[in-house]
Amino acid sequence: MNREQLRQALVGSIETNDISIFKPYLIALIAVGVFGFAVGILTGDSQLVLQAYLINFVFWIGIAQGAVILSVVLRLTNAKWGRPIMRLAESASAFLPVTILLFIVVMLGGEKLFIWINEPVAHKAIYLNAPFMYSRVLVSLLLMTGLSLIYVRNSIRNDLAAIYQGKLIPERFRKLLANYDVNRIDSSNEKQTTLSVIITICYAVCYSLLAVDLIMSLDPHWISTLFGAYYFIGCFYTGIAFTIIMASFFIERPEGKIVGSKQFHDLGKLLFGFAIVNGDFFYSQFLVIWYGNLPEETHYIIERTQHQPWETIAYIVLFLSFVAPFIILLNKKIKMKPIAMRWISIAILLGLWLERTLLIAPSVAGSTSFPIGWIQITITLGFLGIVITSIKYFWSKFPMVVYGDPLLKYSLEGEK
């Protein structure tokens, strides 16, 4: 694919795409979620419903933000191979503004989730009190959403300017491109790099805070210093897996030909690497707690790894998020096959979803039987519906390849 073909494909997609995002199956998914939520609340299982909601909340914000961070990291490392998939990763940012609305439900149901709201832990009350915690989470979410959207907006502006250079800009992009100076693409790229550094640092800080506030504080007596890092590394891991799933669908579009087996190979290597990093972060915590053998630390682990039904889930998580990807992704050829990579990524996401369940569920409602029933499934489907709707909206509206990026030339024919 050379530059002109890519431009034609992009313009073709932008101008002919169906912008109506509310497909029947998406409405159905969201309706199932709302229905499950409402019925669960009405039949009195509100704690279980909120618990499932919180699990999905921390899972999907991690995916959306992790994918954006993948794009940021590709920019910071000047990765030539990754240019074709950068916009794909950025497209997950469409879900981020929704997360702030979704958090309101967590705030409304906070008393049922966070045990310390009604029974404050005396020596931690300065930090763990409802107003301070909610404002921390909201500030983190707003900051990360804001920074990510500014980053994606700049990136899209550069591409639109490059695509429509010397041509008539379509009506709906005029507002976006207002007061954009085509001669300053270079300085705009530099600004993007500066912004990327800021986003990466804020990501580490904000997502550590989110991990502590939304997951670790559910069991207010338990502490682990590595927990924040463990959560944001896991989010980045899910972000990569999700980008692979998106890429496996993206290659069916006309401009998707630019994503070749090389991109899948490299994404697969990255996924393999983060399977190990994620496993390492888990083990680093686990080993220290095991050696220290302090009751206030071990109760958390013992409940999750030696009591049923959590023990079974713990082994499933270990298998799906570490052992299976490690063994399968050693193979070079499988990393180049989009469909195979799609299913491996889905399995990894399932593993990480169960892992979030494992972190959250025993502290909130607890369970003596297998903890996944219709409430968890319907709410997860609802979240899935919202995520797909927001990403579809992005895909149909904006150019899906970073056309204006100076490093894209390494992925185009006839240029180097």
- Under rule CB under 8 A, residue 287 binds other proteins: yes
CA dihedral sign of residues 103, 107, 112, 118: positive
- For residues 318 and 322, give the distance between their C-alpha atoms in angstroms, rounded to a whole number: 6
Closer CB to other proteins, 322 or 353, in the complex: 322
Shortest spacing between CB 412 and other proteins, in angstroms: 17
Residues in the chain: 416
Among 290, 319, 343, 374, binds other proteins (CB under 8 A): 290
- Under rule CB under 8 A, residue 127 binds other proteins: no
Closer CB to other proteins, 293 or 369, in the complex: 293
- DSSP, residue by residue, 304-351: HHHSTTHHHHHHHHHIIIIIHHHHHTT-HHHHT-HHHHHHHHHHHHHH
Closer CB to other proteins, 283 or 343, in the complex: 283
Q: Which stretch binds other proteins (CB under 8 A): 221-229, 267-275, 290-298, 345-353?
A: 290-298
Site residue total, other proteins (CB under 8 A):
6
Shortest spacing between CB 201 and other proteins, in angstroms: 31
Shortest spacing between CB 287 and other proteins, in angstroms: 6
Closest to 246 (Cα-Cα) out of 313, 322, 342: 342
Closer CB to other proteins, 190 or 296, in the complex: 296
In the chain the first and final C-alpha atoms are separated, in Å, by: 13
Closer CB to other proteins, 198 or 288, in the complex: 288
- Under rule CB under 8 A, residue 291 binds other proteins: yes
Closest to 400 (Cα-Cα) out of 265, 264, 246: 246
Shortest spacing between CB 265 and other proteins, in angstroms: 11
Asked whether 68 and 239 are in contact (CB, 8 A), the reply is yes
- Under rule CB under 8 A, residue 81 binds other proteins: no
Shortest spacing between CB 218 and other proteins, in angstroms: 25
Asked whether 232 and 323 are in contact (CB, 8 A), the reply is no
Q: Could you give the string, one character per residue 244-283, with x where binding to other proteins holds by CB under 8 A and - elsewhere?
A: ---------------------------------------x
Asked whether 300 and 221 are in contact (CB, 8 A), the reply is no
Angle between helices 96-108 and 130-163 (to 10 degrees): 170
- Under rule CB under 8 A, residue 288 binds other proteins: no
Shortest spacing between CB 330 and other proteins, in angstroms: 8
Among 35, 81, 180, 286, binds other proteins (CB under 8 A): 286
Shortest spacing between CB 293 and other proteins, in angstroms: 5
Q: Which stretch binds other proteins (CB under 8 A): 125-133, 215-223, 243-251, 286-294?
A: 286-294
Spell out the alpha helix ranges (H) of 92-224: 96-108, 110-113, 115-118, 130-163, 171-177, 185-210
> Could you tell me the two tokens for 177?
């491109």
Identify whether 97 is preceded by a cis peptide bond (ω within 30 of 0).
no
Q: Which stretch binds other proteins (CB under 8 A): 4-12, 184-192, 289-297, 393-401?
A: 289-297
> Could you tell me the two tokens for 207?
């997502």
Q: Which stretch binds other proteins (CB under 8 A): 69-77, 106-114, 120-128, 288-296?
A: 288-296
CA dihedral sign of residues 148, 152, 154, 155: positive
Q: Which residues of this chain interact with other proteins, rule CB under 8 A? A: 283, 286-287, 290-291, 293
